[in-house]
């Protein structure tokens, strides 16, 4: 042993709590004396012997306490689970009949000859070792205990490894990690801001950033070329399964002198690297398929499609335009459509199957659900009487229908009908066994730059107002605004939107024109976005970016259905931190310092 190794070994053994971590003891340590510290995972009293599973973040080892060591045995008799202890003992091989092959330390056990109680735990409000169903309110109130559970611990450690690998990959690709401000100015776009009152400037407020969008564009103008950040973002919006209220984290990225295709290649390379190095999952198709917005709505009824679902919506607008079935024929004109969704082999389902499907369609805004069953005894369905024999035969040929199949129909305004049928496609996905180890990434591209607001009877931005229109100024001047597409894109995986992004509009004259079409005056643009216009006038490079949600990415890799399972200290659905008691009342003194007074709503 060289002198350096000897010194390290001496230092390790000077630690009063551990020579090893609980989950790292193996057969090669048999015969060694070790010191372990951790939490009592389980205590099992087998009469003459006491077994303790001692746990730390690396796993656990089985420790055996023998009655011959009377003082140590007595201390162990009164231990509660989750107490913190230190054990010194000898590593021995387990007997053949007690080997536990399901855990890495299952070949050995530690015969304890000393035990120190570092901190005795009181009885805990829910079990840790056995992950029994526990109310979310209780879990969040005692989150420090909840995080000791195996699946949560693994989720958080995976998240740590994921962020490390992201940083490693991007830095090797020439990206620079740069932090942007948390206290900034309120944005007129997007969700509600969280506001922070200024003590030094009474009556004025900072805002927590909904995203570092403007700062990262300014970094491109400053010449940093490739930027990234694991960025905290703050939005005052309601919770849902894949969205945490209040705050979330995203992998914020921006690049200069880059095309849309090159940006796609950068992110696809990162996701492939993460999948190959951190997961047993596999990417369904690489490079990721690119689906135009119009096509994705026509085929899947959503711009967040789960491509694993083996169903596609089919358009029958041309088929029914001359039909005697007036309900369908009247919807075969511009802006409207007739859609069909075929379920193979489901034509003989009982009536309840169709009633439930119709109830689901109504939840998506449909007045009902038309369908035809091709039962073994002949076709049947509520709209069958409106089709003549020739139309029925032609429909079967068009949709490749056979006995035992069923076809569902939707008709009406294009976007609404697509969404209704998309909702039915998702509803029927439960009929198929989707592969959770398959990652069906895709890009949604060619979003429309504008849409028509029927309520206010005006044109407005449909997605991101700062995107570059395809065709630039020429498109804005010469085209019908509703036909203009933008360099905007979404990245989707297994039906979950990970991010939106865009190639940015970096020219003041194009920005003024784009906003003019949406009803903004030059003065309004200068007032709300003057700092960006000023920056664009001083040498702004072409640039673009994207910001995949880190929380959602961890959800996908860890097969979690609720975002609170991958965040260390999440809020509940009412945006409350039950553990810390936030939000909370502040003192009148604090309010006076901030020049604030409260005007609370009256209680019912």
- Give the pLDDT score at 9: 45
Q: Report the C-alpha gap between 95 and 104 in whole angstroms.
A: 16
Residues comprising the chain, all counted: 604
Across the range 390-417, mean pLDDT stands at: 94
Alpha-carbon distances of 315 from 196, 304, 367, 445, 482, rounded to whole Å:
51, 19, 19, 20, 22
Q: Which of 49, 44, 169 is nearest to 112 (CA)?
A: 49
The confidence score (pLDDT) of residue 1 equals 43
From CA 18, how far away is CA 88, in angstroms rounded? Answer: 9
Contact between 85 and 79 (Cβ < 8 Å)? yes
> Residue 156 pLDDT more than 60?
yes
Question: What is the C-alpha to C-alpha distance for residues 151 and 480, in angstroms, rounded to an integer?
Answer: 53
User: Which ranges of 436-483 does DSSP label H, i.e. alpha helix?
Assistant: 472-478
Q: Residue 483: what pLDDT?
A: 96
Q: Are strands 282-283 and 438-439 parallel, antiparallel or unpaired?
A: parallel
Q: Is the pLDDT of residue 8 over 80?
A: no
How much is the average pLDDT of 449-461?
Answer: 91
Burial grade of 478 (CB within 10 A; 0-12, 13-18, 19 or more) = exposed
Report the chain's C-alpha Rg in angstroms: 31
Inter-residue contact 406 to 347 (CB < 8 Å) = yes
CB 313 within 8 A of CB 425: yes
Phi-psi region of 199 (alpha: psi -120 to 50; beta: other; left: phi over 0): alpha
Query: Cβ-count burial of 27 within 10 angstroms (0-12 exposed, 13-18 middle, 19+ buried)?
Result: exposed
Give me the mean pLDDT over the 423-430 stretch: 96
Taking the C-alpha atoms of residue 32 and residue 323, their distance in angstroms, rounded to an integer, is 86
- Whole-model pTM: value is 0.91
The secondary structure of residue 549, as a DSSP letter, is B
Where is 388: in which H helix or E strand?
A: none
Residue 130: the pLDDT is 87
pLDDT score recorded for residue 603: 79
Mean pLDDT of 402-422: 95
**pLDDT (0 to 100) of residue 13:** 61
Cα(85)–Cα(54) distance, rounded to whole angstroms? Answer: 8
The confidence band for 471, taking pLDDT boundaries of 50, 70 and 90, is: very high
- The rounded distance, in Å, linking the Cα atoms of 148 and 139 is 11
The string of pLDDT tens digits covering residues 305-321 is 999 999 999 999 999 99
Secondary structure (DSSP) of 136-168: HHHHHHTHHHHTTSHHHHHHHHHHHHHHHHHHH
Q: Give the pLDDT score at 604.
A: 67
Stretch 18-35: mean pLDDT: 96
> Do 258 and 575 form a contact (C-beta atoms < 8 A)?
no
Domains of the chain: residue spans and CATH: 9-119 (2.40.50.140), 133-289+493-502+542-596 (3.30.930.10), 309-433 (3.30.1360.30), 448-485+507-540 (no CATH)
- Report whether pLDDT(182) > 50: yes
Using alpha carbons, select from 99, 105, 136 the residue that is nearest to residue 28: 105
Write out pLDDT tens, residues 233-247: 999 988 776 778 889
Residue 74 has pLDDT above 50, yes or no: yes
Among 331, 243, 180, smallest CA distance to 552 is for 243
State phi, psi for 414 to the nearest 5 degrees. -55, -55
Can you read off the two tokens belonging to residue 281?
A: 């999952």
Please choose, from the candidates 232, 178, 177, 179, the residue with its C-alpha nearest in 3D space to the C-alpha of residue 210. 232
Mean pLDDT of 102-115: 95
Nearest to 282 by CA among 166, 439, 493, 494: 439
Q: Are 152 and 145 in contact (CB under 8 A)?
A: no
């Amino acid at each position: 042993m060289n002198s350096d190794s000897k010194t390290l070994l001496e230092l390790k053994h000077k630690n009063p709590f551990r020579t090893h971590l609980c989950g790292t003891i193996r057969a090669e340590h048999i015969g060694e004396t070790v010191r372990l510290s951790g939490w009592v995972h389980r205590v099992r009293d087998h009469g003459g012997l006491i077994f303790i599973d001692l746990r730390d973040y690396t796993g656990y080892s089985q420790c055996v306490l023998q009655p011959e060591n009377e003082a140590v045995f007595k201390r162990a008799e009164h231990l509660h689970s989750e107490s913190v202890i230190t054990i010194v003992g000898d590593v021995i091989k387990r007997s053949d009949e007690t080997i536990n092959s399901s855990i890495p330390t299952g070949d050995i056990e530690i015969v304890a000859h000393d035990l120190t109680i570092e901190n005795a735990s009181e009885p805990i409000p829910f079990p840790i070792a056995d992950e029994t169903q526990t109310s979310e309110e209780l879990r969040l109130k005692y989150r420090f205990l909840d995080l000791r559970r195996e699946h949560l611990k693994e989720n958080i450690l995976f998240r740590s490894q994921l962020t490390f690998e992201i940083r490693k990959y991007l830095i090797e690709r020439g990206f620079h990690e740069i932090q942007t401000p948390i206290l900034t100015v309120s944005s007129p776009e997007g969700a509600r801001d969280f506001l922070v009152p200024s003590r030094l400037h009474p009556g004025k407020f900072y805002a927590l950033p909904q995203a570092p969008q403007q700062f990262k564009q300014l970094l491109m103008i400053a010449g940093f070329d490739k930027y990234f950040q694991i960025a905290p973002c703050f939005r005052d919006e309601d919770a849902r399964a894949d969205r945490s209220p209040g705050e979330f984290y995203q992998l914020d990225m921006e690049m200069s002198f880059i095309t849309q295709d090159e940006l796609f290649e950068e992110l696809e390379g990162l996701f492939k690297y993460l999948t190959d190095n951190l997961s047993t999952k596999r990417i369904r198709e690489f490079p990721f398929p690119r689906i135009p917005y119009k096509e994705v709505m026509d085929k899947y009824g959503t711009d967040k499609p789960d491509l694993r679902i083996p169903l596609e919506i089919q358009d029958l607008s041309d088929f029914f335009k001359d039909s005697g079935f007036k309900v369908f024929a009247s919807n075969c004109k511009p802006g409207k459509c007739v859609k069909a969704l075929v379920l193979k082999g489901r034509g003989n389902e009982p009536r309840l199957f169709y009633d439930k499907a119709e109830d689901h369609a109504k939840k998506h805004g449909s007045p009902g659900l038309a369908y035809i069953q091709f039962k073994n005894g002949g076709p049947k369905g509520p709209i069958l009487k409106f089709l003549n024999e020739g139309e029925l035969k032609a429909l079967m040929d068009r949709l490749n229908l056979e006995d035992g199949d069923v076809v569902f129909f939707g008709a009406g305004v294009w976007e609404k009908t697509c969404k209704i049928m998309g909702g039915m496609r998702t509803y029927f996905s439960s009929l198929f066994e989707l592969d959770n180890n398959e990652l069906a990434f895709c890009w949604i591209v060619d979003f429309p730059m504008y849409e028509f607001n029927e309520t206010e009877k005006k044109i407005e931005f449909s997605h991101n107002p700062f995107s570059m229109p395809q065709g630039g100024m020429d498109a804005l001047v010469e085209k019908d605004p509703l036909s203009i597409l933008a360099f905007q894109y979404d990245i989707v995986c297994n039906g979950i939107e990970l991010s939106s992004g865009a190639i940015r509009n970096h020219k003041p004259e194009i920005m003024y024109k784009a906003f003019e079409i949406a009803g903004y005056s030059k003065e309004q643009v200068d007032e709300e976005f003057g700092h960006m216009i000023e920056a664009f006038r001083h040498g702004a490079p072409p640039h673009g970016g994207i910001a995949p949600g880190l929380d959602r990415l961890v959800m996908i890799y860890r097969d979690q259905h609720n975002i609170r399972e991958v965040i260390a200290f999440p809020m509940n659905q009412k945006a409350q931190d039950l553990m810390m008691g936030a939000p909370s009342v502040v003192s009148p003194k604090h309010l006076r310092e901030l020049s604030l007074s409260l005007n609370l709503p009256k209680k019912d």
